[in-house]
Amino acid sequence: PVTKLAELSADEDAAYAVAPDGTLAVVRSSPARPAELWVAGKQVTQTPTEEWLSYPWIEAPIVQVPARDGQMIPAKLYKPKRWRKGGPAVIFVHGAGYLQNVYEGWSHYFREMMFNHLLMSKGYAVLDMDFRASAGYGKAWRTAIYRNMGGKDLDDNVDGARWLVKELGVNPKRIGLYGGSYGGFLTLMAMFKEPDVFAAGAALRPVTDWRSYHGGYTSPILNDPQDDPEAYRRSSPINFAEGLKGSLLICHGMVDVNVHFQDSVRLYERLIQLGKKDFTLAPYPVEDHAFVRPESWTDEYSRILALFDRVIGPGWKK
C-alpha cells in the first residue's frame, strides 16, 4: 500500500517527514549531488544521469579567508589537482546580496558549480565567497553594506583575491571574476574601482544604477534616492565606469523584468563616451532575468570561458 507522507521541501539540504505508520522519508543533498528522496532507507529518486554521475565532481572544501577588518569570510575553494604557482584564478560572486552559498549542500548555483569545475579542470583556481551582507551570519554581517553597496562586500572580494595570491601563489595579474544580478553589479564595481586587482570580469544581468531598481529592495539598504542621493551615487557602477582598465563582458536578457536591460545599455553607452575599448555587450532577445533556453546558457558560459582564456588563461601574455 502507498502511504501518504507529510510535505517535503527539496530546497533543504536534509529534510525529513514521518508518516502515521512510522515510515521515514528523507530528502538529502550534498555539494556534489542534487537532492534525492529516500523512503525507509531506500533511494526512490535519481535526479542526475549516469553520464553526469561519471564526472569526478568534488565537494569543494570550505575555507576561511581573512578580511582586512579582522573578520573571517567563509568560502569554497576549487583548486586544481596539479596546481602550479603563478596560475590564474577566478572569483565567483553570488547574487541577491543577501543569499548564502557556502554550506554543505547542493547549491542553488548548480550551473556555476559545474562551470567552476570546468574552470578548475583547465587550471584555474576558483573562490566562491559568502562576502559581507550574505545571509546566515547575523545582523552586523547583513547590514554591513548599509548606505554603501559595493563597499565592504567589494572589499571582501578584493581580500579574497589577495588571499589567493598569498596562499596559493596565484599570479596577481591573472585574476578574474564573474557573477549575475547582484553578483554582476559587484563584478562591475570590482572592474571599475579595483582595476589593478581584477584583469577580467563577466557581469551578467547587472544593476548599473540603483536609482532605476525597485524601491522595495533598495530603500531598506540605501534609503530613498531623494533622501539619500549620496548613498545611490557611491553604490552605482555607472558612476565609476571611467576606472575600467581590464576586459569586461556584459550579458543581459532583453526582456528582463527584474534588472531591466536598459541598465546595461546605459552603461554600454557610457563606456563608449569614455573611449573604453575592451568591453562587450551580449544581448539575449528572448531571455528574462533567469535564462530558460539551454542555448542561451551555453552561449553565455562559452563567452565567459573565452574571456578568461583570452585574458588570464592560456592566452595570457606577460
The rounded distance, in Å, linking the Cα atoms of 225 and 236 is 12
> Residue ranges of the domains in the chain?
1-55, 58-311
Task: Please give the pLDDT value at position 195.
Answer: 98
Question: pLDDT band for position 23 (50/70/90)?
Answer: confident
pTM exceeds cut of 0.75: yes
Give pLDDT tens digits for 198-209: 999 999 999 999
Asked whether the predicted pLDDT for residue 7 surpasses 70, the reply is no
Task: Please give the pLDDT value at position 98.
Answer: 84
Q: What is the mean pLDDT of residues 281-289?
A: 98
Give pLDDT tens digits for 134-172: 999 999 999 999 999 999 999 999 999 999 999 999 999
Asked whether the predicted pLDDT for residue 88 surpasses 60, the reply is yes
Question: pLDDT band for position 13 (50/70/90)?
Answer: low
Mean pLDDT for the chain?
92
Asked whether the predicted pLDDT for residue 186 surpasses 50, the reply is yes
Please give the CATH architecture assigned to the domain spanning 58-311: 3-Layer(aba) Sandwich (3.40)
Task: Please give the pLDDT value at position 11.
Answer: 43
